[in-house]
Amino acid sequence: MDHAASIYVAGHGGLVGAAILRALQDRGYPHLLTHRHATLDLTNQAAVNGFFATERPEYVFLAAAKVGGIHANDNYPADFIRDNLLIQTNVIDAAYRHGVKKLLFLGSSCIYPRHAPQPIPEEALLSGPLEPTNEWYAVAKIAGIKMCQAYRRQHGFSAIALMPTNLYGPGDNFHPTHSHVVPALMRRFHEAKEADLPEVVVWGTGQPLREFLHVDDLAEAACFLMECYDEERIINIGTGDELPIRVLATQVAEAVGYQGSIRFDATKPDGIPRKLVDTSRLLAMGWRPRIGLREGLASTYRWFLEHQEKFRR
């Protein structure tokens, strides 16, 4: 990407888009295009085409998506499949039609089958049934990957796709029930500390294993790949380290300074038992994650404290 290029970050209000925008600003790109949801609805094809015709971006980071944790995915299947299919179809097609030089599509490690080998290689895509709690979102993301590959094959469009493991960091959604596990627990422990509650409830058995990548590491990798990768094969990104939710809960409690006890509610879903991505392809290109989980949880909690006013109900 030359420095004069205009770069559109779709979804800059979200966790990933905001981090990509920060990374691009740090790298000194002056022509960054963004658009608020209120003024451009990415599920509206005519509006998206109009935006591309007027603004003519040269590079696109497609980080706009309807996302949510295990509860939201499970309870709003229609919203998750519809919004994601529309957003990605509109943006990828408009990008191709309006001469975008390259597009990076953000997928997710939940696209892989429930019984994929661990760590999960990119080749596991479409090799078995999906985890039911997030299959609607996963099916939409798989369609997005296939769309990137199809437009590359048929039209020679430079579309690449990056599959992150579970993400967290500043700018996350801290909704009490619809968020992912890190922000959900951070808020719950914080509120329990403030109210001096003796116990905090964590969903599921505590046994599922998850890998957590700080969103600033993801953003660095997204810029790195936009600059130096241009192939059809999807690329995983993670840290290589996994831990049980039980241990994560203790680390979040420590980051927050909550000293009460933790109770697991096994009536809530665990989701997939294990989800560790094989990052060897990206590591072979020279990329490395930089932010460890303890450090990342501490800085995310600092961000939460600075912004907590807006999370108050």
Find the shortest distance in angstroms from Cβ 265 to ligand GDP.
Answer: 8
The distance of closest approach from Cβ of residue 201 to ligand GDP in the complex, given in angstroms and rounded to an integer, is: 8
Compare residues 89 and 134 and give the one whose CB is closer to ligand GDP: 134
Distance of closest approach, residue 204 Cβ to ligand GDP, in angstroms: 3
Exposure b/e, 35-53, CB count within 10 A at least 16 = b: beeeebebbeeeebeebbe
- Least distance between ligand GDP and beta carbon 245 (Å): 5
Minimal CA–CA distance to 216: which of 15, 35, 2, 11?
A: 15
Residue among 137, 151, 168, 301 flagged as catalytic: 137
Q: Where are the alpha helices (DSSP H) in the chain?
A: 15-26, 45-55, 70-75, 77-97, 135-155, 181-194, 215-228, 245-256, 280-284, 293-307
The least distance separating ligand GDP from the CB of residue 181, rounded to whole angstroms, comes to: 3
Q: Tell me if residue 137 is catalytic.
A: yes
DSSP code at position 14: S
Nearer to ligand GDP, 58 or 211 (CB): 211
Minimum CB distance to ligand GDP smaller for 100 or for 262: 262
The residues that touch ligand GDP, with contacts defined as CB under 6 A, are 69-71, 110, 134, 166, 179-181, 184-185, 202-204, 208, 210, 245, 268-271, 275
Task: Check: CB of residue 215 under 8 Å from CB of residue 166.
Answer: no
Nearest CA-CA partner of 208 in 243, 167, 184: 243
Which residue sits closest to ligand GDP, CB atoms considered? 69
Q: Can you say how many angstroms the Cα of residue 137 is from the centroid of all Cα atoms in its chain?
A: 12
Distance from the Cα of residue 76 to its chain's centroid: 18
Contacts of residue 184, defined as CB under 8 A and 6 or more positions apart, other chains included, come to 69, 174, 175, 176, 177
Q: Which two tokens stand for residue 253?
A: 């409690």
- Give 102 or 190: the residue with its C-beta nearer to ligand GDP: 190
The residue among 233 and 263 lying less far from ligand GDP, judged by its C-beta, is 263
Q: Which residues are catalytic?
A: 137
